[in-house]
Amino acid sequence: MAWLITKYAITAALVVLISEVAKRSDKLGALIAALPTVTVLAMVWMYLEHQSGEKIANHAWYTFWYVLPTLPMFLVFPFLLTRLGFWPSLAGSAVLTVVCFGGLALVMKRFGVGLM
């Protein structure tokens, strides 16, 4: 149980750190958020919990593919935010991400990469 609490505390601290840095510097907060710290942390947790190398490698492989459809959201959200407000922009960006993911999954299926 202590291990689980430690994992939660470190992971939560990372999110809080990013949000606190972003309050002070848009660019630095975005840079830290863009780093794959959560993914790296997840792989560290998997390693420390004795997951197989194959499982950890698969995690990295699929993370790469799942990041791609999120990228348009970061361009559309600021555009929508000035026109629609926060919540509608967030919802619209989330829908866009789901649509992009579905499209990517269909395209990649043709190349033998099963994302779903």
- Selection from 111, 90, 33 nearest residue 67 by Cα: 33
Query: Is pLDDT above 90 for 97?
Result: yes
Residue 3 confidence class, pLDDT cut points 50, 70, 90: confident
Give the separation between CA 40 and CA 46, rounded to whole angstroms: 10
Give the separation between CA 26 and CA 19, rounded to whole angstroms: 10
> Is 19 within the bounds of a domain?
no
> Is 43 within the bounds of a domain?
no
Predicted model pTM: 0.78
> Is 29 within the bounds of a domain?
no
> Is 38 within the bounds of a domain?
no
Query: Is pLDDT above 90 for 60?
Result: yes
Residue 78 confidence class, pLDDT cut points 50, 70, 90: very high
> Is 66 within the bounds of a domain?
yes
Per the structure, the complete domain to which residue 116 belongs is given by 52-116
- What's the number of domains the chain is made of? 1
> Is 15 within the bounds of a domain?
no
> Is 22 within the bounds of a domain?
no
> Is 59 within the bounds of a domain?
yes
